[in-house]
Amino acid sequence: MSKVNIQEKFQLFNDHWSPKIIGELNGQHLKLAKVQGELVWHDHAKEDELFLVYKGIFCLDFRDGTTVELHPGEFHIVPKGVEHRPWTKGGGEVWLMLIEPAGIKHTGEVMDEKTVETYDWI
């Protein structure tokens, strides 16, 4: 195993809402994603999900009406079973690291045009 440069990995792709796997640790995938706009409301019935922002302003809406706003260097863990809608503030591009169980479905049980079923390793 060699070291991984996250900034270099972000330079390898430009597609939005299509996470790329950069590592695996104890059954957890470390993924990078570039996102812009919003994703569909969804939850993950059995998995927690961590969002860590590298660039831009990333928001998570919750059904109770709250919104969490994340800036570079900040993260938030969405507990399993909590419905959420990710989106980017001002429509700008956001760079994220996701840490979540291997095999997690991108949009939970919701199928959408942005749903990713197979993740690429980079």
Question: Does the structure show a pLDDT above 90 at 111?
Answer: no
The pLDDT of residue 108 is 64
pLDDT of 29 higher than 90: yes
Where residue 25 falls among pLDDT bands split at 50, 70, 90?
very high
Of residues 55 and 117, the one with the higher pLDDT is: 55
Q: Which residues 6+ apart lie within 8 Å of 23 measured at CB?
A: 4, 29, 30
For the chain, the domains span: 6-121
> Which pTM does this prediction carry?
0.88
What pLDDT is attached to residue 80? 93
The lowest-confidence range among 36-40, 55-59, 76-80, 111-115 is: 111-115
Question: Which homologous superfamily does the CATH classification assign to the domain defined by 6-121?
Answer: Jelly Rolls (2.60.120.10)
Extended strands (E) in 2-122: 20-25, 28-35, 49-55, 58-62, 67-70, 75-78, 84-88, 94-101, 120-121
Mean pLDDT of the chain: 91
Instruction: Report CA-CA distances (Å) from 116 to 19, 26, 66, 72.
Output: 8, 22, 26, 25
The pLDDT of residue 107 is 64
Residue 118 binned pLDDT confidence (cut-offs 50, 70, 90): confident
Q: What is the mean pLDDT of residues 5-24?
A: 96
Q: Could you identify the residue written with the tokens 């507990």?
A: 79
